[in-house]
Amino acid sequence: MAILADYHLHTSHSTDSDEPMEKMILKAIDLGLDQICFTEHMDMDYPSEKDAPEGEFLLNTDSYLFDLIRFKEKYADKIRVLFGVELGLQPHLSKENARYVREHDFDFVIASSHVCNGTDPYLPSFYEGRSEEEAYREYFSSILDNLKSFSNFDVYGHLDYVVRYGPDKDNNYTYEKYKDLIDRILETLLEKEKGIEINTGGLNRGLSDLHPCKEIIKRYRLLGGEIVTVGSDAHNTARIADAFGRVSETLTECGFKYYTVFEKRMPEFRKL
């Protein structure tokens, strides 16, 4: 396996995972990874629902860091463990998110869009009363709104997250169909000197392609993009480094010779 670093992992410190951190680390060692970055969820003002009460995705960062430091030291001779966060962006939270990132010595920050104009695209209600294309367009437009208001991150996570949960998922989805918005997103990321994440988490949710899809990865490279991290989005040990061989092949086909890891928010390029 050419890619030996998983940069998108969740443990029981994230609301949607029950997996102990130590168990995730031991599995990563067994798989032959040489470094991992935990990226626990921090979604301020996540909309409350009957299955997601208020404050559901607020991270207890002190508790998380306490565990991470313990296990980082315990397994230092076997694997490098990094301190990251997956930060849920919404335009009205830009000051709060910026303050939060400044207050913690993260190695790596993923910016993600889990909420679009007050609703998580995970919910069926996001798609009600309109076409799938209209819903997807609203989601991509919201990423542009987030990028206008926030810059303190390293990569944007699963850029086309919305297709995981659309009525037809990615069956009718192509880069070309949304090129006008996606190109603006990629150009803005490049202007801000930010990267994108290659996320394999949609493959076990019925998608046929990576997040983002291959055409977007290729377009990012053609526009001059170089920073790409790779993450499984694993919430349990079974998904760690899932489909990383496919990612390596896709990146090579799209013109990349390297993937990226981070420490203290500084990128390092590793050969594929």
Among 218, 130, 140, smallest CA distance to 173 is for: 140
Does the structure show a pLDDT above 70 at 54?
A: no
Does the structure show a pLDDT above 80 at 53?
A: no
- pLDDT-based confidence at residue 55 (cuts at 50, 70, 90): low
The pLDDT assigned to 48 comes to 74
Q: Is 39 helix (H, G, I), strand (E, B) or coil?
A: strand
The pLDDT assigned to 79 comes to 98
The pLDDT assigned to 153 comes to 98
Residue 82 to residue 72: CA distance in whole angstroms: 8
pTM, 2 dp: 0.96
Mean pLDDT rounded to a whole number for the chain: 96
Does the structure show a pLDDT above 90 at 199?
A: yes
Query: How confident is the model over 216-239, as pLDDT tens digits?
Result: 999 999 999 999 999 999 999 999
Residue 157 to residue 167: CA distance in whole angstroms: 22
The pLDDT assigned to 56 comes to 75
DSSP 63-116: HHHHHHHHHHHHTTTT-EEEEEEEEEP-GGGHHHHHHHHHTS--SEEEEE---B
Within 10 A of 250 (CB to CB), how many other CB atoms are there? 18
Percent of the chain at pLDDT exceeding 70: 97
Percent of the chain at pLDDT exceeding 90: 94
Query: How confident is the model over 77-106, as pLDDT tens digits?
Result: 999 999 999 999 999 999 999 999 999 999
Q: Name, in order, each residue with C-beta under 8 angstroms of 155's C-beta and a sequence gap of 6 or more.
A: 110, 111, 194, 195, 196, 197, 227, 228, 229, 260
| pLDDT, mean of residues 119-131 | 94
